[in-house]
Amino acid sequence: MNFKFSQDQEMMRDSAKRLLADLSTFTAVHKILDSDATHDANLWKQMADAGWLSTAIPEEYGGAGMGYLELAVLAEEMGKSLACTPFASSIYFAAELIKAAGSESQKANHLPKLAMGESIATVAYAEKGRIDAGGVQVKAQGGNLTGTKTPVADGLCADLAIVSARDDQGVSLYLVDLTAGGVSRESVATMDRTRKQARLTFNGAQAELLGQAGQGGALLEEVFYKAAALLAFEQVGGAQNALEMATQYAKERYAFGRPIGSFQAIKHRIADMFVKVEMARSSAYYAAWALESAPEKLQQAASAARVMGIDAYGFAAQENVQIHGGIGFTWEANPHLHMKRAKHLESLLGGSIVWRERLMRSMEAAA
């Protein structure tokens, strides 16, 4: 079991760092925060040109044919830089569902567009705060959908949605062209305005079945575990950057003639941040290994990574604000950006309680 990334993967990391250092700065993030832009379109184009979107998409569908470890490397760097793009929605969720359940024609039609960045996709699974199949109330009848999904991450900029809906066979997944008739969307107020979310309302929208009817719940569960492992890397990256911000500020900010980092109370806060970040990193690495090499261990590994990622990022983001003191609470400063992103990533797949329960169930099953 080797937890080190390969030389090629580290080269990919270095390339990603350079691109994000140029384009995904705090200034760029504030620009998205203070505007009605749905995402950073220029950064998205540069990601597509660099081949990031095609990383784990098979070569026969226009992808690079690499794997999840490469996606994990990119995810960590995007988390550090607070990248304002629909990468998770389009690649971790939608592309993975199409790969897993799509027909040959569906894969050939949609995956090349996602790989090239010509299309943005999202997955609409949440209804009134519930993400499980039992909460699905959107109806599918005769190839048409009726109902509302909210919140839908990146639903304002997506061209394509994979929607969970209830039909005669149970809960199924449907492909919906969001630019066609029968679909309306409106912005939903959320904490993180750099990753905007939407309310999608379907009024007889034309839909195409994805996978087998009645298997939507199982397909979503499978992709949730994959996405949890990759989102854990975004959380680790964000937590690491929050730790670095707090450490740097503690060295530069003086009080009573000394750097505040020399005071024991600040030292302890930073030490606690470091411990949580490293624990989350270890769990994320194990989840990446399971995702790539041991799928039978993925549920337990991804659940643990999800729990540790939520804990580490939330804690590091909060402590970063506290260590920055009064300025840390201001809109113009940067610490609050990580706190908001931590809440966004936590909300995507359910919070810590949900994933602790999943972890316990997976441990019981393994025992």
pTM above 0.85, yes or no: yes
Q: How many CB atoms are closer than 10 A to CB 79? A: 26
266 contact partners, CB below 8 Å, separation of at least 6: 250, 260, 323
Backbone dihedral region for residue 147 (phi beyond 0: left; psi -120 to 50: alpha; all else: beta): left
- The CATH label, of 2.40.30.10, 1.20.140.10, 3.60.21.10, 3.30.930.10, for the domain at 217-366 is 1.20.140.10
Q: Which CATH class is domain 121-213?
A: mainly beta
**What per-residue confidence (pLDDT) applies to 296?**
94
Q: How many CA atoms lie within 13 A of 109 on its CB side?
A: 12
Whether residue 341 has pLDDT greater than 70:
yes
The residue extents of the domains of the chain are 7-116, 121-213, 217-366
Q: How far apart are CA 121 and CA 59, in angstroms?
A: 19
Give residue-wise pLDDT tens across range 267-314: 999 999 999 999 999 999 999 999 999 999 999 999 999 999 999 999
- Report DSSP state, residue 5: P
When pLDDT is cut at 50, 70 and 90, the band that residue 1 belongs to is low
Q: Does pLDDT of 207 surpass 80?
A: yes
Asked: is 7-116 a CATH 1.10.540.10 domain? The reply is yes
| Inter-CA distances, 309 with 3, 196, 234, 278, 306, Å | 18, 21, 9, 10, 5
Mean pLDDT within 19-48: 96
Q: What is the arithmetic mean of pLDDT over 25-53?
A: 96
Average pLDDT, the chain: 95
Alpha carbons 267 and 226: distance in angstroms, whole number:
36
Q: Helix 68-81 to helix 7-23 angle, to the nearest 10 degrees?
A: 30
